[in-house]
Amino acid sequence: MNSIPAVATKSPRRLAHIALRTNHLSELIDWYCKVLGAHVAHASDKVAFLTYDDEHHRIALIGLQDYPPQDGTVRVGYFHTAFAYDSLADLLDNFVRLRQLGIVPHRSINHGPTVSFYYADPEGNQIELQVDSFPDAKATNAWLGSEAFKRNPIGIEFDADEMLQKLRDGVPEVELMRRPDSVL
């Protein structure tokens, strides 16, 4: 009997893109271009590839046939996709920009490791726009081991306009991103 040597796991180096089926291709192209500041890398009447950076596409929208619409039932499986910003100011500026376009989050939450806004695209897919609250993975992992996180791993909802005003008043980002029940 031959023994096959174990091979070390090699993880992917990055998440490349998400792909969504849609019955409303042009509407989703418009929404994702607005929300992510993306542009169309390629589009036809059946598919579109969108990007917001040097990757050839970050979002693939597939409209090859008529798909059964989501029925609003919470089911096992895909929950949301998150996109990260470099600073709280960038995230809040985008919140204001999107609100001016009539796109508002259905939830604003300080998870502890992130400050996040949750949006639903026109077909109900959930998108999280977030900023990391800690400067590095070591600090984030330390917080994940905290009593505050053990007590509440979901986070605390916040008023985005109040946070925006505090930022404009000069409150440091690090202070605004600290979850209120945190001791770290």
Q: What is the pLDDT of residues 106-165, one digit of tens each?
A: 999 999 999 999 999 999 999 999 999 999 999 999 989 989 899 999 999 999 999 999
Domain boundaries, position 127 = 80-183
Q: Are residues 103 and 147 in the same domain?
A: yes
**pLDDT, position 2:** 67
Which string of DSSP letters, residue by residue, matches the chain? -PPPPP------SS---EEEE-S-HHHHHHHHHHHH--EEEEE-SSEEEEESSSSS-SEEEE-SSPPPPP-S---SS--EEEEEESSHHHHHHHHHHHHHTT---SEEEE-SSEEEEEEE-TT--EEEEEEESSSSHHHHHHHHTSHHHHH-SS-EE--HHHHHHHHHTT--HHHHHS-TT---
Share of the chain above pLDDT 90, in %: 78
Task: Return the CATH number at 159.
Answer: 3.30.720.110
Are residues 104 and 179 both part of a single domain? yes
Please state the pTM of the whole predicted model: 0.89
Query: What mean pLDDT is reported for the chain?
Result: 92
pLDDT reading at 184 higher than 50: no
- Specify which of 3-7, 63-67, 159-163 reaches the highest per-range mean pLDDT: 159-163
pLDDT at 75: 76
Same domain as 149, residue 106? yes
Question: Between residues 67 and 60, which one has the greater pLDDT?
Answer: 60
Residue 59 and residue 111 in one domain: no
Domain CATH number, residue 32: 3.10.180.10
In a domain, 8, yes or no: no
| 174 & 106 share domain | yes
Tell whether 118 and 179 lie within a shared domain. Answer: yes
Residue 98 domain-assigned?
A: yes
95 and 26 inside one domain: no
Q: Is the pLDDT of residue 43 over 50?
A: yes
State the pLDDT at residue 5. Answer: 79
Q: Look at the chain and report how many structural domains it folds into.
A: 2
Looking at residues 158-178, what average pLDDT do you find? 96
pLDDT given for residue 35 in this prediction? 97
